[in-house]
């Protein structure tokens, strides 16, 4: 007999070899019906997995991340089976589940069309109706290679060859379709209730631009049609909010073919950008930060010293100056180190908080570029905090509070992830354990819940990541707090302690916005281009009815400008309805209509983008209203 500890803490006894499905059935028929997979000692397994020893077991449904993973992973296999039926010469690459869906990469003679996707969907429906059981089997490595060679799947052969000698290779069979796969999967193809193929794109094999371009089909699947419909509606809403489209329409920013991945900001976009930077400077000054600026180009030796050469050089740009080798900085931190190192510091000088709006350049693949979300040059709102080990908790809490105050201003909710040591990292186990525990202690002291993201830390230290939730439920990783014991050592940074001896400081790397460009993209989509008054490049549009009202319109404009309000006057000889529609399309927060009555009484007919017609107001009353909204940063 073995003991199985369930999620609620209860312990049940079963015969050795009992399957996860058997356990679900022993608890309730309803649970067995909705269970998709099981988490055994933290590892997700198929329902058919046999339990051979005492363990903890969490039965997973579609409500659980592991259950969704198995469900969508199976969906990708169904899609691959459909493609192979319709296009027998297609070669299979990889097909994982991803957040909100799945994809599969195929090597085919010609790109897939919209009509092709419809045909694949129809074939998938047949496979689901045929309800094939997903059966796992294993082969020794050499037999697995031979098996995939016989099936003429060169990409699978390459994947297997990269696995260690002596490895046992797992496969899944559904009907006449077999795929190399570690799993897990749901029991049968008939378990998939609702799905949709969304798009097709090019993708280099293994993400390397030197390899062949494959065709990647994206799809999504849900346990209920109503959930799928709601998700598709959100996608349509997201298309309307696409910052690339709105950036052009509102004349904020653009990416031109002369500079792929290098954004251009137009005058109105610069207004928005400058407001964000001014707010950032104000809040950082209040929080005890000093602003610095470091060079964009620094010599190659510095990047060897920092560790970026070994861990990041594939993403860097290089140049020669006076026969010397230089790099264009991909990160601001080495420059911050040099600023700290210029002087001798006492423990009384610490913490030292150095903030920088630093322009960085990173070599991104052309296929990965996406508007302002993924660019090749961007401004990080960096800061580097140098401190004694005793200050770690208070400084981390200070950064958490600062980031929280920023996100509240924009109306963002967020969740937190703690990312731990990656494989390709610097430093000792003891340093990593101390740094990770310090971040955990700060989060727990603040009473914040968080998720562990194993192995996703920076190469020099663990980090806390803040994931914002926008107005349509999407999440974006923005703020981060990284604790670093490595770089102070590599740069031989010191301070004089109370004992008169030299000691090594600890440092925090952190950003709030993440990058100014990406944050502007997120804000544009979050607000659908209808920025709150304090952020709007143009806050007020004055709309005189005819020429004789232009004089009063100009008077009002001067009065508003005197109060620091951003205002434009539409003097075009157009009908007022047309002018109002144009201002609405430009997403101007307030429109002031001026006709005979307003000119005579020195009043304004006020229209709000949000609340519609607000009636007649005096100029002073309107100014007081809008200044209050700006001052309070109302959303």
Q: How far apart are the first and last CA of the chain?
A: 61
Q: Residue 382 CB: number of other CB atoms within 10 A?
A: 23
User: Alpha-carbon distance 32 to 25, whole Å?
Assistant: 5
Helices 154-161 and 141-150 cross at an angle (nearest 10°) of: 170
Is a pLDDT exceeding 90 seen at residue 365?
Answer: no
Residue 84 bears catalytic tag: no
Q: Taking a C-beta distance cutoff of 8 angstroms, is the pair 465, 416 a contact?
A: yes
User: Alpha-carbon distance 238 to 412, whole Å?
Assistant: 17
| pLDDT at position 277 | 97
User: Alpha-carbon distance 205 to 211, whole Å?
Assistant: 6
Residue 240 bears catalytic tag: no
User: Alpha-carbon distance 191 to 484, whole Å?
Assistant: 47
Closest CA relative to residue 392, chosen from 349, 354, 435: 435
The strand pairing partners of 216, in sequence order, are 105, 201
Q: Taking a C-beta distance cutoff of 8 angstroms, is the pair 399, 406 a contact?
A: no
- 597 class by beta-carbon count within 10 Å (0-12 exposed, 13-18 middle, 19+ buried): exposed
Residue 239 bears catalytic tag: no
Assign 330 a pLDDT band (cuts: 50, 70, 90): very high
User: Which of 380, 431, 486, 539 is labelled catalytic?
Assistant: 380
Assign 424 a pLDDT band (cuts: 50, 70, 90): confident
CA–CA–CA angle 117, 123, 129 (5° rounding): 140
Assign 130 a pLDDT band (cuts: 50, 70, 90): very high
User: Which of 21, 84, 333, 470 is labelled catalytic?
Assistant: 333
Residue 54 CA, chain-centre distance (Å), reads 39
User: Which of 46, 179, 382, 470 is labelled catalytic?
Assistant: 382
Residue 509 bears catalytic tag: yes
User: Which of 91, 241, 361, 362 is labelled catalytic?
Assistant: 362
Q: Residues for the chain: how many in total?
A: 635
3-state secondary structure of 604: strand
Domains of the chain: 2-61 (3.10.20.30), 68-240 (3.30.980.10), 253-295+329-526 (3.30.930.10), 540-631 (3.40.50.800)
Tell me: the pLDDT tens digits for 448-476?
A: 999 998 888 887 789 999 999 888 888 89
Tracing tokens 């920088």 back to the chain, one arrives at: 356
Residue 384 bears catalytic tag: yes
The rounded mean pLDDT for the chain is 93
CA dihedral 515, 532, 470, 375 (to 10 degrees): -30
Element spanning 478, H or E: strand 475-484
User: Which of 69, 384, 518, 541 is labelled catalytic?
Assistant: 384
| pLDDT at position 209 | 80
Average pLDDT over residues 585-602: 96
Tell me: the pLDDT tens digits for 524-550?
A: 999 999 999 999 999 999 999 999 999
Residue 382 bears catalytic tag: yes
Q: Which residues contact 267 (CB under 8 A, 6 or more apart)?
A: 251, 537
Q: Residue 469 CB: number of other CB atoms within 10 A?
A: 15
Please give the model's pTM, rounded to 2 decimal places: 0.81
User: Alpha-carbon distance 525 to 514, whole Å?
Assistant: 16
Q: Taking a C-beta distance cutoff of 8 angstroms, is the pair 49, 40 a contact?
A: yes
| pLDDT at position 167 | 84
Q: Taking a C-beta distance cutoff of 8 angstroms, is the pair 248, 254 a contact?
A: yes
Tracing tokens 């079963």 back to the chain, one arrives at: 14
- Residues 471, 473, 475, 479, CA torsion sign: positive
Question: Most distant CA pair in the chain: distance in Å?
Answer: 94
3-state secondary structure of 296: coil
Average pLDDT over residues 113-132: 95
The strand pairing partners of 169, in sequence order, are 139
Tracing tokens 């001067």 back to the chain, one arrives at: 558
Average pLDDT over residues 225-234: 94
Residue 408 bears catalytic tag: no
Assign 369 a pLDDT band (cuts: 50, 70, 90): confident
Share of the chain above pLDDT 90, in %: 81
User: Which of 353, 509, 510, 541 is labelled catalytic?
Assistant: 509
User: Which of 72, 216, 463, 607 is labelled catalytic?
Assistant: 463
Residue 545: φ, ψ to 5°: -70, -50
List the beta strands (DSSP E) in 231-289.
253-254, 264-265
Element spanning 11, H or E: strand 11-14
Q: Which residues contact 403 (CB under 8 A, 6 or more apart)?
A: 466, 479, 481, 510, 512
User: Alpha-carbon distance 595 to 603, whole Å?
Assistant: 10
């Amino acid at each position: 007999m073995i003991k199985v500890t369930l999620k609620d803490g209860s312990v049940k006894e079963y015969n050795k070899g009992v399957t996860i499905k058997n356990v679900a059935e022993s608890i309730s028929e309803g649970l067995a019906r909705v269970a998709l997979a099981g988490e055994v000692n933290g590892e997700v397994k198929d329902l058919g997995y046999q339990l051979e020893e005492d363990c903890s077991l969490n039965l997973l449904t579609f409500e659980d991340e592991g259950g969704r993973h198995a469900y969508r992973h199976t969906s990708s296999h169904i899609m691959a089976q459909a493609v192979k039926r319709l296009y027998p010469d297609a070669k299979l690459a990889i097909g994982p589940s991803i957040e909100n869906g799945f994809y599969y990469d195929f090597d085919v003679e010609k790109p897939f069309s919209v009509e092709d996707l419809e045909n694949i969907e129809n074939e998938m429906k047949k496979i689901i109706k045929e309800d094939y059981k997903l059966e796992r089997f294993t082969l020794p490595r050499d037999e697995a290679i031979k098996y995939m060679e016989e099936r003429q799947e060169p990409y699978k052969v390459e994947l297997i060859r990269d696995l260690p000698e002596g490895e046992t290779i797992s496969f899944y069979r559904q009907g006449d379709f077999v795929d190399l796969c570690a799993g897990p999967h749901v029991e049968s193809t008939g378990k998939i209730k609702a799905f949709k193929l969304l798009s097709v794109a090019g993708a280099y094999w293994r993400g390397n631009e030197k390899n062949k371009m494959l065709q990647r089909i994206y799809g999504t699947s849900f346990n209920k049609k109503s959930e799928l419909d709601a998700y598709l509606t959100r996608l349509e809403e997201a298309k309307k909010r696409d910052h690339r489209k709105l950036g052009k329409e509102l004349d904020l920013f653009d990416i031109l073919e002369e500079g792929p991945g290098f954004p251009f900001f137009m005058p109105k976009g610069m207004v928005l950008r400058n407001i964000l930077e001014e707010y950032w400077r104000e809040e950082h000054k209040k929080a005890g930060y000093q602003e610095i600026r470091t060079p964009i180009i620094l010599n190659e030796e510095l990047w060897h010293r920092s560790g970026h050469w070994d861990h990041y050089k594939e993403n860097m740009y290089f140049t020669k100056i006076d026969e010397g080798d230089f790099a264009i900085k991909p990160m601001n931190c080495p420059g911050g180190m040099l600023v700290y190192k210029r002087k001798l510091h006492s423990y009384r000088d610490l913490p030292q908080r150095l903030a920088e709006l630093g322009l960085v350049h990173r070599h991104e693949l052309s296929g990965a570029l996406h508007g302002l979300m993924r660019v090749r040059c961007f401004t990080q709102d960096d800061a580097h905090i140098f401190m004694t080990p005793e200050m770690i908790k208070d400084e981390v809490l200070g950064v958490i509070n600062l980031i929280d105050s920023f996100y509240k201003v924009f109306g963002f909710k967020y969740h937190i992830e703690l990312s731990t040591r990656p494989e390709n990292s610097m430093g000792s186990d003891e340093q990593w354990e101390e740094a990770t525990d310090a971040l955990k202690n700060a989060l727990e002291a603040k009473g914040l819940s968080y998720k562990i993201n194993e192995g996703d830390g920076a190469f020099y230290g663990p980090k806390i990541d803040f994931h914002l939730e926008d107005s349509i439920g999407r999440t974006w990783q923005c703020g981060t707090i990284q604790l670093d014991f490595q770089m102070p050592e590599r740069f031989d940074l010191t301070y004089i302690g109370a004992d008169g001896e030299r000691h090594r400081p600890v440092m925090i790397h952190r950003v709030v916005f993440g990058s100014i460009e990406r944050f502007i993209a997120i804000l544009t989509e979050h607000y659908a281009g209808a920025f709150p008054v304090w952020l709007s490049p143009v806050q007020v549009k004055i709309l005189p009815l005819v020429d004789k009202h232009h004089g009063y319109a100009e008077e009002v404009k001067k009065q508003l400008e005197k109060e620091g309000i951003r205002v434009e006057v539409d003097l075009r000889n157009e009908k007022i309805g047309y002018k109002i529609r144009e201002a609405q399309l430009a997403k101007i927060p307030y429109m002031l209509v001026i006709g005979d009555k307003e000119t005579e009484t020195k009043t304004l007919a006020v229209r709000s983008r949000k609340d519609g017609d607000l009636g007649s107001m005096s100029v002073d009353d309107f100014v007081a209203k809008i200044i209050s909204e700006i001052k309070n940063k109302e959303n």
